[in-house]
């Protein structure tokens, strides 16, 4: 599905996706020369990986570039008379990216067209090739069109062919780290990013890429360090947003909310403000406040109507409020702007929860096709495909996919949760438990992770912890999923309430105290006078005294005392106070 970006001014053609066989670029003007097809002629790249974001791309560090009235101007080789781009959308895009902020889609489109035209007449300008490659990465991410990643790779390699990274072209290396993140190749992104950091530790543009790579690998300690370094080098709205995300992922919700609100207050451009407001909506949704989430997402869309993450987020919150018709419209609008497979999965699950089986099957079919298409274009969506297969398809296939993902070093909480759930769905809750616990223990407060762990523990008949985690999921966000939230409540109802005094499975019952044997009372001395009446038979108490014999006859001797009992070879007196039973201990899992 082709998606065309927001239209720029009428006098500039749109450099949208061009799938013709005649050119590797969309033609806002004459296309630049074909990129070198021979990989051997390109500079050998160091390993790298990290998710793409133009706001985190290399524009701010392009060597030989000059920041003039907010525009990064690449100085061509031997062409000192070349005029810089006129102030306008190109200047705004370069100013935004130089600050580490997102550019609007229209400005980004204009930037792509401008750089395409420039490299068409200046093919030896390594800096402009790096700018163009990074812009392609961001456009592909925004439009969910992986074809742009291929163009980005060609442009970035062309940049390195003209000027290797070892000679100062670290901007192209940062762009390749961004490209690797966009393709979910976090190991490669990490290597690219660390290569740049080792050469230029104060190169602030590389740290957002390292943060994404470390998070994708589950190395949260290194991610936190990278966030702190980025904030120290480049304070501002982007650093605040990244810090808020880090706080949220560690479960520090109050700190995340305060920092995210600070970012909103300081945001300047519409694109930047929309991204910050969308983060507030996401935080509200995750803490179970769908009405507040709708309000924040709505504010983001009033600021930037093209912000599709806010459309999808508002759809999610509207569904939780029961406004399902509006939710469907927002999902469809988001898919029109950016056909992300994640949006397709969410819409399919909404259809399924409403009993619209035909629509859900159709949506899942589109999802499979989209994932196959992105895979052919070099994007690894094993995590999303594994989640889908575990919940709606072949759980065994999901296990295979996600074990391979784990084997690649992708040990994030998201992968651990998905693998644990796939193992559970395939009938192996014993193996699932370790991964489900790792996801929950990562620090974030995620209702979906808690639900999955609770269901795994329920399958293992560990009902106390299962009940606790299912309740935690519904307490964190009562409507965390249109399908799974009702299932969590149903599982709780099936298990019932714990018995009075606490769940019996949480600790064993105390053993009964041993009862000492009864000892007969001493026989009283015989007295003159009538004999005492005997105690009624069967009455508890002391042993009856023997009746007095005829006058002059001695009484019978009392029965001898019971011999001391043997216990483990040692004798003890039965009238001793019995030892206290051992203190009860918690059952496994507590």
Q: Any idea which residue has 């390749």 for tokens?
A: 176
Q: What is the DSSP annotation of 19-83?
A: --SS-SS--SSSPPPPPP--GGGSPPPPP------GGGSGGGG-TTEEEETTEEEEPPTT-TTPP
**Element containing residue 571 per DSSP (H, E):** strand 570-572
Please, is 155 exposed, middle or buried when counting C-beta atoms within 10 Å of its C-beta (0-12, 13-18, 19+)?
Answer: buried
∠ at Cα 418 (191, 365), nearest 5°?
100
Q: What is the DSSP annotation of 379-446?
A: ---HHHHHHHHHHHS-HHHHHHHHHHHHHTT---HHHHHHHHHHHHHTT-HHHHHHHHHHHHTTS---
Question: 0.85 cut: is pTM over it?
Answer: no
Give domain limits for the chain: 43-77+84-199, 402-497
Q: In the prediction, which pLDDT does 515 show? A: 66
Q: Any idea which residue has 């940049």 for tokens?
A: 159
Q: Find, among 100, 142, 139, 353, the residue nearest to 231 by Cα.
A: 100
Q: In the prediction, which pLDDT does 520 show? A: 56
Count of other CB atoms within 10 angstroms of residue 2: 11
Q: In the prediction, which pLDDT does 517 show? A: 59
Answer whether 43-77+84-199 and 402-497 agree in fold: yes
CATH architecture of the domain with residue range 402-497: Alpha Horseshoe (1.25)
Q: In the prediction, which pLDDT does 74 show? A: 34
CB 76 within 8 A of CB 119: no
**Helix, strand counts (H, E) of the chain:** 23, 4
CB 165 within 8 A of CB 173: yes
The CATH classification number of 43-77+84-199 equals 1.25.40
Q: Any idea which residue has 């979910």 for tokens?
A: 184
Q: Give, for all 590 residues of the chain, the pLDDT tens digit.
A: 433 333 333 333 333 333 333 323 233 333 333 333 333 233 333 333 333 333 333 333 333 332 222 223 333 333 433 445 556 888 888 887 777 778 888 889 999 999 999 999 999 999 999 999 999 999 999 999 999 999 999 999 999 999 999 998 999 999 999 999 999 999 999 999 999 999 999 999 999 999 999 999 999 999 999 999 999 999 999 999 999 999 999 999 999 999 999 999 999 999 999 999 999 999 999 999 999 999 999 999 999 999 999 999 999 999 999 999 999 999 999 999 999 999 999 999 999 999 999 999 999 999 999 999 999 999 999 999 999 999 999 999 999 999 999 999 999 999 999 999 999 999 999 999 999 999 999 988 999 999 999 999 999 999 999 999 999 999 999 999 999 999 999 999 998 766 665 555 445 455 666 666 566 555 555 555 544 445 444 444 444 444 444 444 444 444 444 444 433 344 343 343 444 444 434 343 33
Residues 6+ apart with CB under 8 A from 205: 56, 57, 58, 59, 60, 61, 100, 171, 174
Q: Any idea which residue has 């993140």 for tokens?
A: 181
Q: Find, among 248, 206, 253, the residue nearest to 230 by Cα.
A: 206
Rg from Cα positions in the chain: 36
SS3 of the chain: helix, strand, coil, percent, to 5: 55, 0, 40
Count of other CB atoms within 10 angstroms of residue 548: 16
Question: Any idea how long the chain is?
Answer: 590
SS3 567: strand
d(CA 367, CA 143): 16
């Amino acid at each position: 599905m082709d998606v065309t970006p927001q239209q720029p001014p009428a006098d500039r053609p749109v450099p949208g996706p061009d799938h013709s066989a005649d050119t590797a670029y969309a033609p806002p003007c004459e296309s630049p020369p074909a990129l070198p097809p021979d990989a051997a002629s390109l500079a050998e790249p160091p390993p790298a990986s990290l998710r793409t974001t133009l706001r985190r791309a290399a524009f701010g560090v392009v060597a030989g570039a000059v920041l003039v009235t907010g525009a990064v101007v690449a100085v061509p080789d031997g062409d000192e008379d070349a005029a810089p781009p006129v102030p306008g959308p190109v200047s705004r895009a370069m100013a935004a990216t130089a600050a580490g902020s997102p550019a609007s889609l229209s400005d980004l489109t204009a930037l792509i067209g401008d750089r395409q035209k420039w490299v068409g007449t200046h093919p030896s300008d390594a800096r402009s090739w790096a700018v163009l490659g990074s812009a392609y990465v961001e456009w592909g991410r925004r439009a969910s069109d992986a074809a742009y990643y291929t163009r980005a790779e060609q442009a970035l390699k062309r940049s390195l062919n003209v000027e290797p990274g070892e000679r100062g072209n670290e901007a192209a290396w940062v762009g390749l780290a961004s490209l690797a993140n966009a393709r979910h190749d976090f190991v490669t992104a990490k290597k690219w990013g660390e290569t740049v950091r080792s050469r230029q530790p104060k190169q602030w543009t590389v740290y957002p890429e390292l943060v994404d790579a470390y998070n994708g690998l589950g190395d949260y300690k290194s991610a936190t360090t990278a966030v702190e370094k980025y904030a120290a080098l480049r304070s501002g709205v982007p650093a605040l947003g990244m810090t808020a995300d880090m706080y949220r992922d560690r479960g520090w919700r109050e700190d995340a909310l305060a920092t995210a609100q600070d970012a909103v207050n300081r945001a300047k451009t519409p694109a930047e403000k929309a991204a910050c407001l969308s983060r507030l909506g996401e935080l509200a949704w995750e803490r179970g406040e769908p009405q507040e989430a709708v309000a924040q997402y709505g504010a983001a869309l009033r600021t930037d109507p093209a912000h599709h993450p806010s459309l999808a987020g508002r759809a999610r919150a509207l569904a939780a409020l029961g406004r399902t018709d509006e939710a469907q419209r927002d999902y469809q609008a988001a898919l029109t702007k950016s056909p992300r497979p994640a949006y397709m999965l969410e819409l399919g699950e909404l259809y399924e929860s409403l009993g619209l089986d035909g629509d859900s099957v159709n949506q899942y079919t589109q999802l499979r096709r989209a994932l196959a298409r992105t895979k052919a274009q070099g994007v690894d969506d094993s995590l999303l495909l594994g989640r889908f297969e575990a919940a709606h398809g072949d759980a065994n296939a999901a296990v295979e996919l996600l074990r391979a993902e784990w084997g690649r070093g992708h040990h994030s909480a998201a992968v651990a949760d998905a693998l644990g759930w796939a193992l559970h769905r395939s009938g192996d809750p014993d193996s699932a438990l370790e991964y489900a616990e790792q996801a929950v223990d990562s620090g974030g407060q995620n209702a979906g992770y808690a639900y999955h762990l609770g269901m795994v523990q329920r399958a293992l008949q560990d009902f106390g912890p299962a009940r606790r985690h299912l309740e935690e999921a519904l307490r964190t966000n009562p409507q965390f999923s249109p399908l799974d939230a009702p299932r969590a409540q149903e599982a709780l109802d099936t298990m019932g309430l714990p018995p009075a005094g606490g769940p019996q499975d949480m600790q064993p019952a105390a053993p009964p105290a041993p009862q000492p044997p009864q000892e007969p009372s001493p026989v009283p001395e015989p007295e003159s006078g009538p004999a005492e009446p005997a105690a009624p038979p069967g009455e508890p108490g002391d042993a009856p005294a023997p009746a007095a014999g005829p006058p002059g006859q001695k009484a019978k001797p009392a029965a001898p005392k019971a011999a001391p009992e043997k216990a483990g070879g040692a004798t003890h007196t039965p009238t001793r106070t019995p030892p206290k039973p051992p203190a009860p201990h918690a059952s496994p899992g507590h």
